Amino acid sequence: MDGGKADDAGVNIRALIFALLALACLVIGMVIVVGFMKHGIGFLKLFVPHAPWYLLILLIPIEVISFLTRPISLSVRLFANMLAGHTMLAVFGGFVVALGSAGGILSVLSIAPMLLIVAIMLLELLVAFLQAYVFAILTCIYLNEALHLHDHH
């Protein structure tokens, strides 16, 4: 199980992370374009929270950084969930092989991790739908923030 070149797992991990990064950058790019189309240069008010001026010196860089790291956190969230699921499947697959080749009664026992793999696959299905949902919801939240800058209360 070498995560560097996981072609043997049927998933090229590097291609996956870049595909997800492209997807997330598309989302953030769309947020920026929509924000500037709706508000013009006033979109930059997104980075200025309601606070006294001496706090703004600290808060504006934080807001900018948190906005710019959104594509990374969006894509890494999805990627880490997929990677964790695949790693778990690979580990349990190793259990099946090791038990099956042990011979005797242990070979019969290898059915147990195989059944666990089915259960984990179902769990991963749930996680996949959940994370797709979260990606969509976060996209909506970011878009909503860009459309109604700070006046949503």
Partner 1 sequence: MEIAAAKMIGAGLACIALVGAGIGIGNVFGSYLSGALRNPGAAATQTTNLLLGFALCEATGLFGLVIALLILFAF
Binding site for partner 1 (CB under 8 A): 2-4, 73, 76-77, 79-81, 83-84, 87, 130-131, 133-134, 137
Residue 3 or 61: which CB sits closer to partner 1? 3
Q: How far apart are the first and last CA of the chain?
A: 50
Residue 4 or 104: which CB sits closer to partner 1? 4
DSSP state of 69: T
Residue 33 or 141: which CB sits closer to partner 1? 141
CB of 98: closest distance to partner 1 in angstroms?
A: 21
d(CA 140, CA 146): 10
d(CA 70, CA 25): 9
H helices then E strands: how many in the chain?
5, 0
